[in-house]
Structure 1
Amino acid sequence: MRTRIWHAHARASLVGCTALVLGLTGTLAHAHSPARPHARDLGRETLPAGDGWGSEGAGTTGGAAATAAQVHTVTTWAGFKAALQAGGDAPKIIKIRGVIDPVAEGCASFQAPGYDFDAYLEKYSPENWGLDTDLSGEPADSPEGLRAASAAAQDAAIKVNVPADTTIVGVGKGAGIRGGSLQIKGVDNVILRNLTIEAPLDCFPQWDPTDTDTGAWNSEYDAVVVYGSTHVWVDHNTLTDGRYPDGTLPTYFGRTYQQHDGLLDIVRGADHVTVSWNSVEDHDKTMLIGNSDSAGATDTGKLKVTLHHNRFEGVVERAPRVRFGQVDSYNNHFVVTEEQAYGYTFGVGASSQLYASDNAFSLPAGVSAAKTLKKWSEAPLTAENNYVNGRKTDLIAVHNAEIPAETLRSGAGWTPTLRTKVDPPRAVPGIVDGRAGAGKVR
Structure 2
Amino acid sequence: MNRHKSLWLVGATALVLSLTSPVAAARSASDPARQTLPAGDGWASEGTGTSGGAKAVASRVFTVTTWEEFRAALAVPGTEPRIVKVRGTLNATAAGCSAFEAPGYDFGRYLADYDPAVWGLDTVVSGPQEDLRAASAQAQGKAIKAYVPANTTVVGVGKGAGIVGGSVQIQGVDNVVIRNLTVESPLDCFPQWDPTDGATGAWNSEYDSMVVYGSTHVWIDHNTFTDGAHPDSSLPSYYGEVYQQHDGELDIVRGADLVTASWNVFADHDKTLMIGNSDSAGATDRGKLRVTLHHNLFKNVIERAPRVRFGQVDAYNNHFVVPASGYAYSLGVGQESQLVAEKNAFTVPAGVGVGTILKKWKDAPVTTAGNLVNGRPVDLLAVHNAEFPDEILRDGAGWTPTLRTRVDDPRAVPGVVDHRAGAGRLC
TM, length-normalised to structure 1: 0.90
Structure 2 match to 1:200: 186
Q: How much does 1:337 deviate?
A: 2.9
What SS does structure 1 have at the residue aligned with 2:56? Answer: coil
CA distance in structure 2 between the aligned counterparts of 1:269 and 1:131, rounded to whole angstroms: 35
Asked if the contact 1:32–1:39 (Cα under 8 Å) also holds between the matched residues in 2, the reply is: no
Asked if the contact 1:70–1:87 (Cα under 8 Å) also holds between the matched residues in 2, the reply is: no
Structure 1 match to 2:380: 395
Pick the aligned partner of 1:432 from 407, 417, 420: 417
What SS does structure 2 have at the residue aligned with 1:274? Answer: strand
Pick the aligned partner of 1:61 from 48, 51, 74: 51
Are 1:124 and 2:109 matched, yes or no?
A: no
For each residue in 1:65-94, what CA deviation from the matched residue of structure 2 results, as whole angstroms up to 9, or x when unmatched? 211100000000110011001142221100
Structure 1 match to 2:158: 172
CA distance in structure 2 between the aligned counterparts of 1:88 and 1:395, rounded to whole angstroms: 48
Structure 2 match to 1:254: 240
For each residue in 1:328-360, what CA deviation from the matched residue of structure 2 results, as whole angstroms up to 9, or x when unmatched? 00000000133x420000000000000000000
Are 1:355 and 2:340 matched, yes or no?
A: yes
Structure 1 match to 2:123: 133
CA distance in structure 1 between the aligned counterparts of 2:25 and 2:392, rounded to whole angstroms: 58
For each residue in 1:88-113, what CA deviation from the matched residue of structure 2 results, as whole angstroms up to 9, or x when unmatched? 22211000000001101111111112
Pick the aligned partner of 1:109 from 99, 103, 106: 99
Q: Unpaired runs of 5+ in structure 2?
A: 1-20
Structure 1 match to 2:390: 405
Q: How much does 1:146 deviate?
A: 1.4
Larger Rg: 2
Structure 2 match to 1:70: 60
What SS does structure 1 have at the residue aligned with 2:420? Answer: coil
Structure 1 match to 2:220: 234
Describe the shift of the 1:189–1:38 C-alpha distance in structure 2 as closer, same or farther (beyond 3 A).
closer
What are the within-5 Å matches in structure 2 for residues 10-409 of structure 1?
A: 33=23, 40-135=30-125, 137-138=126-127, 142-338=128-324, 340-409=325-394
CA distance in structure 1 between the aligned counterparts of 2:27 and 2:314, rounded to whole angstroms: 34
Q: How much does 1:196 deviate?
A: 0.1
Q: How much does 1:149 deviate?
A: 1.4
Q: How much does 1:253 deviate?
A: 0.6
Q: How much does 1:34 deviate?
A: 8.8
CA distance in structure 1 between the aligned counterparts of 2:228 and 2:316, rounded to whole angstroms: 26
Structure 1 match to 2:8: none
Runs of 4+ with >6 A deviation: 34-39
CA distance in structure 2 between the aligned counterparts of 1:45 and 1:56, rounded to whole angstroms: 17
Describe the shift of the 1:144–1:176 C-alpha distance in structure 2 as closer, same or farther (beyond 3 A).
same
One-letter amino acid matched to 1:115: Y
One-letter amino acid matched to 1:207: W
Q: How much does 1:36 deviate?
A: 6.3
For each residue in 1:162-207, what CA deviation from the matched residue of structure 2 results, as whole angstroms up to 9, or x when unmatched? 1000000000000000010011001000000000000110000000
For each residue in 1:294-317, what CA deviation from the matched residue of structure 2 results, as whole angstroms up to 9, or x when unmatched? 111111110000000000001000
Q: CA RMSD in A?
A: 1.4
One-letter amino acid matched to 1:52: G
One-letter amino acid matched to 2:130: E
CA distance in structure 2 between the aligned counterparts of 1:382 and 1:370, rounded to whole angstroms: 15
Describe the shift of the 1:188–1:36 C-alpha distance in structure 2 as closer, same or farther (beyond 3 A).
closer
Question: When the two structures are aligned, how many residues end up with a matched partner?
Answer: 407
Structure 2 match to 1:27: none
CA distance in structure 2 between the aligned counterparts of 1:424 and 1:37, rounded to whole angstroms: 32
Asked if the contact 2:153–2:176 (Cα under 8 Å) also holds between the matched residues in 1, the reply is: yes
Asked if the contact 1:32–1:40 (Cα under 8 Å) also holds between the matched residues in 2, the reply is: no
TM, length-normalised to structure 2: 0.93
Fraction of identical pairs, as percent: 67
One-letter amino acid matched to 1:189: N
One-letter amino acid matched to 1:332: N
Asked if the contact 2:302–2:323 (Cα under 8 Å) also holds between the matched residues in 1, the reply is: no
CA distance in structure 1 between the aligned counterparts of 2:131 and 2:323, rounded to whole angstroms: 41
CA distance in structure 2 between the aligned counterparts of 1:50 and 1:389, rounded to whole angstroms: 30
Q: How much does 1:35 deviate?
A: 9.5
Asked if the contact 1:292–1:323 (Cα under 8 Å) also holds between the matched residues in 2, the reply is: yes
Q: How much does 1:37 deviate?
A: 6.5
CA distance in structure 2 between the aligned counterparts of 1:57 and 1:327, rounded to whole angstroms: 17
Q: How much does 1:251 deviate?
A: 0.7
Q: How much does 1:212 deviate?
A: 1.3
